[in-house]
Structure 1
Amino acid sequence: CEVQSTANTLTCHSEILEQPWLKKKDITVNCIPSNSRKKRQLLGGQQEQDPNNAEYRQLAEESLSKYLVSSGTTQYHKIIKINKVTTQVVAGSMTRIDFTVAPTNCVVDSNGQPTASNCEVQSTANTLTCHSEILEQPWLKKKEITVNCIPSNSRKK
């Protein structure tokens, strides 16, 4: 057999999992046309994530609690939208979250949590835009959160 043309070549990736003690062998092969373009990822670069993922909502909630405690406010705020999430592999995992919060009719406790369960947003006119960075290093049992919030109607310079 001879190759007649290289115009229709495929690039294949194989994964072979062999467990001889179980007499088991799994082979997975994925092939794509060689001329198809795929998006390259920058190793160690930021990757956009789905802002609707519950994991990122939980991290945004933790960030908001930290902000409410550190800012000294007595009014509980609620997340109304998660705008953007990126993750990056560093010496651990760095998650960056941009989200918008609004004041509610509830008071905040010393842990940044509402003192009532039925908190309602009072107005979206006084929203805050928040940026949070969460560095997680599980092998050190470390989670470091930094968060800053500014009024949404203020301009960055």
Structure 2
Amino acid sequence: MPRPLLLTAALMLAACTPAKTDGIDPKGQTFDAVAPEEVVTLLGTEPFWNLKIEGTKGVWTTPERQPGTAFTVTRFAGNGGLGFTGTLDGKPLTATLTPGTCSDGMSDRSFPFVATIAFGGETFAGCGYTTKQPFTGAEAP
């Protein structure tokens, strides 16, 4: 199996791995901590990137892609997280959002989710938040 496909499959499985919360194993229960109407933002540094998802629309932004490139995403929920897939520039993009305290390493913000993106043969690690589950800390560090 080609490496990008293996990486995408691994990321999808990570979003579907059962998580333990307060000693309760939700195995068999679909992740429902993020409502479909919530706007999801995933972001990372080194290199800087941002993926904003609203409904079935994703916008991928980097310093070289201003103001960002829109594409269609499909949402899927696993046992331990939420995933999104789409095609950007003819390449598959897979994003996962899993619960966990996260720091972007550049600000004093704390994020409620860990984010991972596979795109163009690269893996991007970062943090995430939603409109109903925001980050804490300064708005503009």
Give the TM-score, by structure 2 length. Answer: 0.36
Name the structure, 1 or 2, with higher relative contact order (CA <8 Å, separation 6+): 2
Could you say which structure has the higher helix fraction?
A: 1
Q: What is the TM-score with the length of structure 1 in the denominator?
A: 0.33
Greater C-alpha radius of gyration: 1
